[in-house]
A and B are shown apart, each in its own frame.
Chain A
Amino acid sequence: MKLVVLAGTPGSGKTSVLLHAIKALIKHGRSPSVVKVDCLWTDDDRRFKKLDIPVHVGLAKDMCPDHFTIYNIDEMLRWADEKGCDVLLNETAGLCLRCAPYPDECLAICVIDVTTGPNTPLKVGPLLTTADIVVMTKGDLVSQAEREVFRERVLEVNPECIIVEANGLTGKGSFELADLIGCGPDAGKDMLLRYNPPLAICSLCTGENRVSRKYHMGVLRNLDGFMEYKGE
Chain B
Amino acid sequence: MVYDMSEINSLTILGGVNKDGADEPIRSVEITRGEIVGIVGPTGSGKSTLIDDIEQLAQKDTPTDRTILVNGEIPDSSIRVDPRRKLVAQLSQNMHFLADMTVEEFLSMHARSRGKEASLVTKVIELANDLTGEPIAPHYHLTALSGGQSRSLMTADIAVISDSPVVLIDEVENAGIKKQAALRLLAGEGKIVVVVTHDPVLALMSSRRIVIRNGGMIDIITTSMQEQDVCSRISDVDNWLMSLRETIRRGDVVEGTV
Contacts and interface: CB of A to CB of B under 8 A. Distances in A.
Interface stretch (A62-70, A83-91, A141-149): A141-149
A148 B162 CA distance: 10
Interface in B20-56: 48-49, 52, 56
A118 interface: yes
Interface string A169-197: 01110111001000000000000000000
Contact of A152 (B94, B100, B113): B113
B99 A118 contact: yes
Interface residues of B, number: 31
Nearest to B151: A143
Contact of B100 (A119, A141, A145, A170): A119
A148 B92 contact: no
B61 A148 contact: no
Given A171-B63, A175-B62, A141 B110 contact: no
Nearest to B46: A170
B125 interface: no
Interface in A132-155: 140-146, 148-149, 151-153
A137 B106 CA distance: 20
Given A119-B100, A149-B99, A170 B63 contact: yes
B98 to A, nearest CB: 5
9 contacts: A118-B101, A140-B93, A140-B94, A142-B98, A144-B90, A144-B158, A148-B110, A148-B162, A170-B63
B113 A148 contact: yes
A117 interface: yes
B154 A143 contact: yes
Interface in B38-90: 48-49, 52, 56, 61-63, 81, 83, 89-90
Q: Which 5 A-B pairs have the closest CB atoms?
A: A152-B113, A175-B61, A144-B90, A148-B113, A148-B83
A152 B97 contact: no
A146 B114 contact: no
